[in-house]
Amino acid sequence: MSERLPEDELTYYTGDACISCTSCMSNCPVMEATQDYDGPKLVAPAHGRMHFSEEDIERSLELCSNCKTCDRSCPNGVSVSTLNLLQKGVYYRTHKHPMRDLMISRPEPLAKLITGLPMGASLANMGIKVANSLGMLSMMGLAGKRTMPAYTNKTFLSRMKSIKQPKSDKKIVFYVGCSINYNTPEIGEAFVKVMNHNGYEVLVDPAFVCCGSPLIVTGYLDAARKNVDTNVDRLLYWKQEGIPVVSCCTSCSYALRKEYEELYGEKQMKEAGSNVYDAFEFLEMLDAKGQLKTDFKEESIRFMYHQPCHLKSAGIGTPAAQVLKHVPGVAVELADAGCCGICGNYGYRKERYDVSMKVGEQLFKRILLSQPDSVICDCPTCRQQIEHGTHKEAIHPIMVLARNYKYE
Ligand code: SF4
Ligand code: SF4
């Protein structure tokens, strides 16, 4: 039987702590982008307390992107985004989702099926392109103006089997996540290379499943519980073994370390989350202990770093930008231009495409004005949005470390 977090820790997530200061309203990027959104204060704390009709709640709730800017701007610690997600979950217990939501909320089973078939990824990638050019994605409720992430023919977990790592007493468990496993396995390979170079052996645990974030943001809170429980069990196991769990995706790591606990309020979720680290947070910790290898080749390049919203909410600063300072010739400028607007599957919904692009405008302008050689960012969907909005390459910062270390 799972134990609830103590009441005083849960009040943090209720609307009763709201003092109606409207700080969340003036900081919400969606509210700035569209007049259709009633805004965080009215939608979450006020509706939560006043029990308006379901229609009122739903109309505006769907516009919340879960960027969590409101939470960070609230002087009284109200987790407005959590209240929104909880209300959405309640709404969808009695209301039907559009068919499209089934697909965008469950990337893992679909990717598993596609990449498990011979030539499945190539055929699916081609099929998606053709379907898009015929307007079929748009008919399905997807943002047809976007390029969908391509599947890989060889997943990271299958590549991992042939990576020869030096044995070490220092170990970490890599939480791979759907995007790296099925779309960008090269990021996972780069991470293993970097950790091996720093004396760590990287373990993977195939029992981990999708973090559940796509289900959570689409309003399938009950369905997400299965993913949450599986992952919490595995996190607790690794915590007991004394081996940290590290992720290269800031949305996965935020879900594992904080969002489960915020949404479901159970003690074991908080305990499980305390053993989760973001990749660059872990590397920065090694650096602080004087244990980070800094034998880098010089590369003359200028990056702009975009800090993902979920990394901001984790409250750990900009570890990637700090660690990259060790690479000679590499200059990193912080974009500091707010939310990119895509917010997981939000910007992939046809009806949210315009709002999503409007929210990202400030960041796009900042990048285009500065004209860096490349953009770096630790979140896969932020990178897709940046490439879509600026036509500039956006890469994971681990790629920069991996290509600049001097290997024997
Ligand atoms: S999570 Fe983002 S979009 Fe939603 S209410 Fe908060 S600031 Fe606005
Ligand atoms: S910022 Fe916090 S206290 Fe102020 S209105 Fe929003 S939820 Fe209420």
Tell me, what's the pLDDT at 408? 77
**What is the arrangement of strands in the sheet containing 301-305, beginning at the earlier edge strand?**
330-334, 301-305, 374-376, 394-395
32 CA to centre of own chain:
23
Q: How far apart are CA 377 and CA 398, in angstroms?
A: 9
Q: How far apart are CA 318 and CA 311, in angstroms?
A: 8
Pocket test for ligand 1, best of 35, 47, 79, 81 (most atoms within 8 A of CB): 81
Cα of 71 vs centre of ligand 1, distance in Å, is 8
Indicate whether 54 pLDDT > 60: no
CA of 27, nearest ligand number: 1
**Ligand 1 atom 5 nearest Cα:** 40
Can you read off the two tokens belonging to residue 271? 């305990």
Q: How far apart are CA 342 and CA 299, in angstroms?
A: 31
Q: 212-228, pLDDT tens digit by residue? A: 999 999 999 999 999 99
Cα of 320 vs centre of ligand 1, distance in Å, is 25
What's the first-to-final CA gap in the chain, in angstroms? 51
Mean pLDDT of the 124-152 span: 94
Q: How many CA atoms lie within 13 A of 181 on its CB side?
A: 27
Q: 92-101, pLDDT tens digit by residue? A: 888 899 999 9
Give the nearest ligand 1 atom to 39 CA: 5
Task: Yes or no: say if 65 and 201 are a contact pair by the CB < 8 Å rule.
Answer: no
Burial of 83 (0-12, 13-18, 19+ CB in 10 A): buried
How much of the chain exceeds pLDDT 70, in percent? 96
Q: Which residue is it, tokens 């679909």?
A: 110
Tell me, what's the pLDDT at 52? 55
Q: Using a 6 Å CB cutoff, which residues line ligand 2?
A: 18-24, 40-41, 45, 73-74, 76, 78, 80
Q: Which residue is it, tokens 């700035």?
A: 32
Pocket test for ligand 1, best of 24, 63, 65 (most atoms within 8 A of CB): 65
Give the nearest ligand 1 atom to 43 CA: 5
This prediction's pTM: 0.95
Q: Which residue is it, tokens 């995706």?
A: 249
Contacts 24+ apart (CB under 8 A), 235-241: 235/272, 235/273, 235/275, 235/276, 236/268, 236/271, 236/272, 238/173, 238/205, 238/275, 239/271, 239/272, 239/274, 239/275
Task: Yes or no: say if 298 and 263 are a contact pair by the CB < 8 Å rule.
Answer: no
Q: Which residue is it, tokens 């993977």?
A: 204
**Ligand 2 atom 8 nearest Cα:** 18
Cα of 259 vs centre of ligand 1, distance in Å, is 15
Cα of 367 vs centre of ligand 1, distance in Å, is 23
Give the nearest ligand 2 atom to 20 CA: 5
As a dihedral over the C-alpha atoms of residue 344, residue 104, residue 189, residue 192, rounded to 10 degrees, the angle is 60
Q: How far apart are CA 279 and CA 174, in angstroms?
A: 9
Give the nearest ligand 2 atom to 21 CA: 4
Q: Is the dihedral of CA 359, 363, 368, 373 positive or negative?
A: negative
Mean pLDDT of the 352-359 span: 97
Give the nearest ligand 1 atom to 66 CA: 1
For residue 275, which phi and psi values (nearest 5 degrees)? -105, 15
**pLDDT class for 6, splitting at 50, 70, 90?**
confident
Q: How far apart are CA 326 and CA 176, in angstroms?
A: 26
Task: Yes or no: say if 308 and 377 are a contact pair by the CB < 8 Å rule.
Answer: yes
Task: Yes or no: say if 177 and 247 are a contact pair by the CB < 8 Å rule.
Answer: yes
Cross-strand bridge partners of residue 330 = 301
Q: Using a 6 Å CB cutoff, which residues line ligand 1?
A: 28, 30, 40, 64-70, 80-81, 84
Pocket test for ligand 1, best of 25, 62, 64 (most atoms within 8 A of CB): 64
Q: 195-206, pLDDT tens digit by residue? A: 999 999 999 999
Give the nearest ligand 1 atom to 339 CA: 2
Tell me, what's the pLDDT at 18? 87
**pLDDT class for 327, splitting at 50, 70, 90?**
very high
**Ligand 1 atom 2 nearest Cα:** 67
Can you read off the two tokens belonging to residue 403? 């290509």
Q: 224-263, pLDDT tens digit by residue? A: 999 999 999 999 999 999 999 999 999 999 999 999 999 9
Q: 261-276, pLDDT tens digit by residue? A: 999 999 999 999 999 9
| CA-to-CA separations, 381 to 178, 219, 313, 371, in angstroms, rounded | 12, 19, 17, 21
Q: How far apart are CA 402 and CA 195, in angstroms?
A: 9
Give the nearest ligand 2 atom to 73 CA: 1
Give the nearest ligand 2 atom to 77 CA: 2
Q: Which residues contact 94 (CB under 8 A, 6 or more apart)?
A: 54
Tell me, what's the pLDDT at 81? 92
Tell me, what's the pLDDT at 9? 72
Pocket test for ligand 1, best of 84, 312, 313 (most atoms within 8 A of CB): 84
Task: Yes or no: say if 191 and 403 are a contact pair by the CB < 8 Å rule.
Answer: no
**pLDDT class for 56, splitting at 50, 70, 90?**
low
CA of 78, nearest ligand number: 2
**Nearest C-alpha neighbor of 227 from the set 210, 248, 243:** 210
**Ligand 2 atom 7 nearest Cα:** 18
Give the chain's domains with CATH numbers: 7-96 (1.10.1060.10), 100-139 (no CATH), 156-285 (1.20.1050.140), 295-404 (3.40.50)
Question: Quick one: DSSP state of residue 7?
Answer: H
Tell me, what's the pLDDT at 15? 80
Tell me, what's the pLDDT at 51? 58
Tell me, what's the pLDDT at 11? 61
Tell me, what's the pLDDT at 185? 98
Q: How far apart are CA 168 and CA 230, in angstroms?
A: 28
Higher pLDDT, 71 or 55: 71
Cα of 71 vs centre of ligand 2, distance in Å, is 8
